[in-house]
Amino acid sequence: LGVFLSGGIDSSTVTAMMTRLLPGKVHSFSIGFTDRSFDESGYAREVAAHLGTNHHEMIFETSMLTDLVPTVTQ
For residues 70 and 22, what is the distance between their CA atoms, to the nearest angstrom?
39
- Which tens digit of pLDDT belongs to each residue from 32-65? 999 888 888 999 999 999 999 999 999 988 777 7
- Let me know: does 9 contact 17? Beta carbons within 8 Å: no
Q: What span, in angstroms and rounded, lies between the C-alpha atoms of 69 and 42?
A: 25
Nearest to 33 by CA among 13, 11, 59, 57: 59
| Per-residue confidence band for 68, with pLDDT thresholds at 50, 70 and 90 | confident
pTM of the model: 0.81
